[in-house]
């Protein structure tokens, strides 16, 4: 058989296009699963960031963190602010060293974060900073 006996549609361009389409067909379920997992874990990581910030504020103002174990619907006042976990999120704070509280979160899907321990040399960033409007400052 010679190369002229190939069907007209069997070109290298069509092979590349078919390969790209096959890659998308295989990758789509993986990407959708990853997107779903990110969406379901976002509230717990947002809560962990908020609790890390509050624990940092507590250490700065009182010299110690505040041990907690909060479940959906429960709340606590930390560093003068009331904190309530997101729906389906559990927030756990352990304080083995007064100035080094550690925060871990989980959700009702079975996802659990790593422990995030306060490091005063590298403090957390305020997850909800106040936005300052430069036009309002009168400069």
What integer pLDDT is reported at residue 23 of this predicted model? Answer: 79
Give the model confidence (pLDDT) of 52-80 as tens digits: 999 999 999 999 999 999 998 899 999 99
- Answer yes or no: is pLDDT of 132 > 80: no
Question: What pLDDT, on a 0 to 100 scale, did the predictor assign at position 90?
Answer: 97
What is the C-alpha separation between 27 and 18, in angstroms, rounded? 14
Show the tokens assigned to 69. Answer: 């174990």
| Residue, of 132 and 107, whose pLDDT is higher | 107
First-to-last alpha carbon distance for the chain, in angstroms, is 81
pLDDT, residue 16, reads 81
Query: Across all residues in the chain, what is the average pLDDT?
Result: 87
The model's pTM: 0.71
pLDDT at 28 over 80: no
Is the model's pLDDT at 87 over the cut of 70? yes
Euclidean distance between CA atoms 134 and 37, whole angstroms: 38
By mean pLDDT, which of 21-30, 53-62, 69-78, 109-118 is the weakest? Answer: 21-30
């Amino acid at each position: 058989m010679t190369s002229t006996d190939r069907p007209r549609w069997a070109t290298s361009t069509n092979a590349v296009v078919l390969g790209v389409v096959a890659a998308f067909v295989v990758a789509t379920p993986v990407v959708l699963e990853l997107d779903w997992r990110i969406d379901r874990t976002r509230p717990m990581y947002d809560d962990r960031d908020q609790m890390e910030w509050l624990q940092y504020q507590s250490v700065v103002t009182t010299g110690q963190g505040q041990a907690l174990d909060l479940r959906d619907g429960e709340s606590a006042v930390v560093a003068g602010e009331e904190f309530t976990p997101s729906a389906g999120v559990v927030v756990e704070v352990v304080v083995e060293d007064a100035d080094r509280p550690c925060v871990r979160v989980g959700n009702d899907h079975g996802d659990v974060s790593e422990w995030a321990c306060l490091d005063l040399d590298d403090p957390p960033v305020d997850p909800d900073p106040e936005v300052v409007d430069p036009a309002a400052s009168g400069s």
